[in-house]
Amino acid sequence: MKKYLLLIAVAGLFFTSCKKCKDCEIKVDLTSAYPLTNADCQLAFGMNCEDYLTQGYTSEEYCGDDLDAIESTDAVTGVGFSVYWDCK
């Protein structure tokens, strides 16, 4: 009997620990509203635009409330660029 209770308890852990998770990363789109180019960023910052705008952010897996917060975040649009989260 104890074996069955232990089996049910362990099986319950597997079902309750499932969370919706996705790998998310920051993406950068250079827009045509302003002719910002990677050459401009290289000259000004010493790196291309995507590297400059995404420094400090790494691709990682997010779950639960963190994932919901990221997915509900709107893109940040500046002069010549748009930065947003891409989750898969």
Extents of the domains making up the chain: 20-87
pLDDT recorded at residue 8: 56
> Can you tell me the distance from the alpha carbon of 24 to that of 67, in angstroms, rounded to the nearest whole number?
9
8: how many CB neighbours lie within 10 A of its CB?
A: 9
pTM over 0.75: no
pLDDT recorded at residue 38: 86
Phi, psi dihedrals of residue 45, rounded to the nearest 5°: -120, -10
5 pLDDT more than 80: no
12 pLDDT more than 60: no
| Cα distance from N-terminal residue to C-terminal residue, the chain | 43
- Average pLDDT value for residue range 6-25: 65
Each residue's pLDDT tens digit, 29-84: 887 767 778 888 899 999 998 888 888 888 899 999 999 999 999 998 887 888 99
In sequence order, what DSSP letters do the residues of 55-83 get, joined into one string?
Answer: TT---EEEEHHHHHHHHTPPPEEETTEEE
